[in-house]
Structure 1
Amino acid sequence: MRHDIPAREAEIAAVVGERVMTVTEVDHRLRLLRSGPLAARLPAPDTAEGRNLLRWLVQVMVAEILAGQEAARLGLPSESPEPAEPPEPPGSTARARPTEPSASPARSGRPAPHRVAEDAARAVLTLAGALRTGGVAAAVLATAPAARAVCRVLTAESTPSEEDARDYYRRNLDRFTTPETRWVRPFGPVRRGDMTGPLEDAVFAAGEGETAGPIEGPGGPWTLVVERIEAARREPYEAVRALIRAELAEREGERAFARWLDARQAGCVRLTPGHEHPADPAQPDAGHRH
């Protein structure tokens, strides 16, 4: 670690290996976050929650630096412009993150340049990812191509076993099952649970092409026509095997990156007072103590 830091301690938020991260940098990112479209949902700056938001942002910025340093050390093509809007803390958005079925880049350990651009366009922060890896790791994986490049290298030789994939399929049959769907005029497609009471009973007792009603219901009475019935179906394991293995590989990669990030943070990061991890029980705004 560098000891001859060319700045006053009050101007430093963190020291990451040889890299000094300044308070000015953190303030800039925080202004971007607070001027974004979700600004109204963020806590006020002069509250414990607001100060912990700043601490959380520092952890994300430190993780970005660590990932960038590792990507540079490995010679990975992972450069990208600074995001216009930093990631919001996990739990506030929940879009689905697509699976990354990578073949040749994973074998070589080095992502092709076009994959970097694709990753930047496709990756988003999800609550599920944050629960698997922790909010900081999930945020940096969602926003930093360098982090995703390092993640792929960490799991280049890791392949989910056939047993693990089959076990996942057996434990999650609901994901691969489409329940019976009835196309009902005037409602459109209807499944069990979409309707209640006598209306549902009548719809699912009728055959294809039959009319049910009039039936008393909200805004009724209703006369319903079952125009088409699509039977329940389940995707066979062979049809979803590749998807499952890709998803399991992605999850293991995220966990491997989180473990790597924890180790690197413990080994070469120094945080100054006011920039500790929000969960650090030693900081005055920590919300959980025993």
Structure 2
Amino acid sequence: MRVRPPAAGAASAPGVGAVAGWVDGRPIPRERLERRIAELRNGPFRATLPVPGSSEDRQLARWLTQVILTEALCEAVASDLGLDPVEAEPFEGVAAVELGSINTAAYNGNPWVRAVFEHVTAAAEAPPEWRSPASAERSPQYLIRHRLFPDHSSAHRATPDALDSLGPASLDSLPAAIADALRRHPHGTLVGPVQDTLGWHVAIATPFEERGAALRPAPRPPLPTACDTPTSAEQAIAPTQQDRSGATLLDAARRRTFARWLDDMRAKKVQLVPGLEHPGDPRQPDNHHKH
């Protein structure tokens, strides 16, 4: 029997106690969130976590809540469809940026999320506009280091060593906000924090060119004076694919399909509670940026 949906603003449920949110009317115990935070606080990266009780700490809790609710949503769907758990390589680098940090964390850490990914994206196809004409000039390649942060403060403290290497890639493979910022700054400099709907981006890009099988630094091109780049989150997930094979185009299309499906399902079936809103929600008090 389906559980009665909670009243607006409800943060507890009979027999469950405090909840982190509701998925299709089913309460998700807040204990899951508290356990996940405790694991991080006792784990190898505890020194990098924000101070308990700080604004950044509350943002981390909000981010983890979205991961947990996404996992719970996919677990319910997998159960309804009779899916088997799936083991797969984690998404990293450009693929993780395309899918988004919350979706990637859920996918990498939960076999039921991966099972739903396989089911939802089985028929996905790369849009024709992603394929460049054969005569089109290849997009410039850059050695990119990038990381997405859940809040401005932690992104502001980031150093080059804290960024993840994405390897040689085109700037068009990144979300539009950080790609545009990289184009407007001298190559090799730390750029960010730059905010979009995914979070706070910090990145470095150094131009590279191929010589046979090896990569070497390319001559520095002049900085552009203007860029025509997409601004919506949906466009940011759709990369310009001049330098990608057909197989990789399909992989990118599957990630976009899954991200869209999750957005739609969360809007229909997930209800958040006060204090655990989405970290990017402009209405919650910790989502602020001071210049």
The residue aligned with 1:145 is: 111
Deviation at 1:191, TM superposition (A): 4.9
Structure 2 unmatched ranges of 5 or more: 7-12, 142-167, 170-208, 219-243
Does residue 50 in structure 1 map to residue 57 in structure 2? yes
Deviations 1:24-74 (A, max 9, x none): 221011101121111111111111001100110000000001111112222
Matched letter for residue 23 of structure 1: R
Matched letter for residue 257 of structure 1: F
Corresponding pairs, count = 193
The residue aligned with 2:258 is: 257
Given that residues 125 and 142 in structure 1 are in contact (C-alpha distance below 8 angstroms), is that contact kept between their aligned partners in structure 2? no
The residue aligned with 1:123 is: 90
Compared CA separation, residues 180 and 36, structure 1 to 2 (3 A): same
SS state at 2:21 partner: strand
Does residue 171 in structure 1 map to residue 138 in structure 2? yes
Given that residues 70 and 106 in structure 2 are in contact (C-alpha distance below 8 angstroms), is that contact kept between their aligned partners in structure 1? yes
Given that residues 210 and 216 in structure 2 are in contact (C-alpha distance below 8 angstroms), is that contact kept between their aligned partners in structure 1? no
SS state at 1:278 partner: coil
The residue aligned with 2:4 is: 2
Matched letter for residue 68 of structure 1: E
SS state at 1:171 partner: coil
Compared CA separation, residues 160 and 262, structure 1 to 2 (3 A): closer
The residue aligned with 2:180 is: none
Q: Which runs of 4+ in 1 moved over 6 A?
A: none
> How many angstroms apart in 2 are the aligned matches of 1:67 and 1:135?
16
Deviations 1:224-245 (A, max 9, x none): xxxxxxxxxxxxxxxxxxx822
Does residue 277 in structure 1 map to residue 284 in structure 2? no
Matched letter for residue 80 of structure 2: R
SS state at 1:2 partner: coil
SS state at 2:245 partner: helix
Matched letter for residue 106 of structure 2: V
Matched letter for residue 90 of structure 2: A
RMSD, aligned CA: 3.3
Does residue 33 in structure 1 map to residue 40 in structure 2? yes
Given that residues 180 and 191 in structure 1 are in contact (C-alpha distance below 8 angstroms), is that contact kept between their aligned partners in structure 2? no
Given that residues 124 and 143 in structure 1 are in contact (C-alpha distance below 8 angstroms), is that contact kept between their aligned partners in structure 2? no
Matched letter for residue 252 of structure 1: A
Given that residues 16 and 29 in structure 2 are in contact (C-alpha distance below 8 angstroms), is that contact kept between their aligned partners in structure 1? no
The residue aligned with 2:175 is: none
> How many angstroms apart in 2 are the aligned matches of 1:146 and 1:77?
8
> How many angstroms apart in 2 are the aligned matches of 1:192 and 1:272?
50
Compared CA separation, residues 64 and 282, structure 1 to 2 (3 A): same
Higher helix fraction: Structure 1 or Structure 2?
Answer: 1
> How many angstroms apart in 1 are the aligned matches of 2:32 and 2:97?
28
Q: Normalising by structure 1, what TM-score? A: 0.57
SS state at 2:258 partner: helix
Given that residues 13 and 272 in structure 1 are in contact (C-alpha distance below 8 angstroms), is that contact kept between their aligned partners in structure 2? yes
> How many angstroms apart in 1 are the aligned matches of 2:140 and 2:128?
16
> How many angstroms apart in 2 are the aligned matches of 1:281 and 1:249?
34
Deviations 1:119-161 (A, max 9, x none): 0xx21444x3343233211221222222222222222223337
Structure 1 unmatched ranges of 5 or more: 79-115, 182-188, 194-242
Q: Which residues in structure 2 correspond to 1:1-290 (within 5 Å)? A: 2-3=4-5, 5-7=13-15, 11-78=18-85, 116-117=86-87, 119=88, 122-126=89-93, 128-160=94-126, 164-165=130-131, 167=133, 171-172=138-139, 174=141, 178-179=210-211, 191=216, 244-288=245-289
Given that residues 21 and 272 in structure 2 are in contact (C-alpha distance below 8 angstroms), is that contact kept between their aligned partners in structure 1? yes
Given that residues 5 and 25 in structure 2 are in contact (C-alpha distance below 8 angstroms), is that contact kept between their aligned partners in structure 1? no
